[in-house]
Structure 1
Amino acid sequence: MNILQAALGGGAIFPDPETLLDGLTFEVATRTVPGVPYTLADLLAHLSVTQRASLDLAAGRTDTWPEGLDLWPGLADERALDACLTDLRLGLAEAQALAADPSGRARDLLTDLAAHSAYHWGQVALLRRVLGEWPQ
Structure 2
Amino acid sequence: MSDQALRDHVLYVLKGGGAHLGFEQAIDGLPRELRGAKVDGCPHTAWRLIEHMRICQWDIWQFSVNPDHISPEFPDGLWPATDAPPDDAAWDACVHLFRGDAQAMIDLVADPSIDLFAPIPHGDGQTILREALLVADHNAYHLGQLAMLRRCLGDWKD
Q: Secondary structure at the match of 2:78?
A: coil
- Root mean square deviation of aligned Cα: 2.0
Preserved contact between residue 26 and residue 81 of structure 1 (Cα < 8 Å): no
Q: Aligned-pair distance for 1:33?
A: 0.5
Equivalence for 2:103:
93
CA contact 2:16–2:22 (8 Å) conserved in 1: yes
Match of 2:154 in 1: 132
User: Which region of structure 1 is more displaced relative to structure 2, 39-48 or 67-76?
Assistant: 67-76
SS at match of 1:83: helix
Number of the residue aligned with 2:79: 72
Q: Secondary structure at the match of 1:12?
A: coil
- Normalised TM-score (structure 1): 0.87
What's the offset of the Cα at 1:135?
Answer: 5.1
> Which stretches in structure 2 are left out of the alignment for 5+ residues?
1-6, 118-126
Match of residue 29, structure 1, among 35, 49, 53: 35
Deviation at 1:77, TM superposition (A): 2.1
Q: C-alpha displacement at 1:68, in angstroms?
A: 2.2
Q: How many Å separate the matches in 2 of 1:87 and 1:67?
A: 17
Q: Tell me the distance in 1 between the aligned counterparts of 2:44 and 2:79.
A: 9
Q: Pick from 53, 57, 77 the counterpart of residue 51 of structure 1.
A: 57
Distance 1:106-1:63 versus aligned 2 partners, 3 A rule: farther
Count of aligned positions: 135
When Rg is computed on C-alpha atoms for both structures, the one with the higher figure is 2
**If each structure's helix is expressed as a fraction of its own residues, which one has the higher value?**
1
CA shift in 2, pair 1:16/1:67, >3 Å: closer
In structure 2, what is the Cα distance between the partners aligned to 1:53 and 1:123?
20
Structure 1's consecutive aligned runs of 4 or more residues displaced over 6 angstroms after TM superposition are none
Residue 45 of structure 2: which of 25, 39, 46 is its match? 39
Partner of 2:11: 5
Given candidates 96, 109, 129, the residue that maps to 2:131 is 109
Sequence identity of aligned pairs in percent? Answer: 31
Match of 2:156, as an amino acid? W
The verdict on how the C-alpha distance between 1:46 and 1:67 changes in structure 2, with shifts beyond 3 A counting, is closer
Secondary structure of the corresponding residue to residue 120 of structure 1: helix
TM-score normalised by structure 2 residue count: 0.76
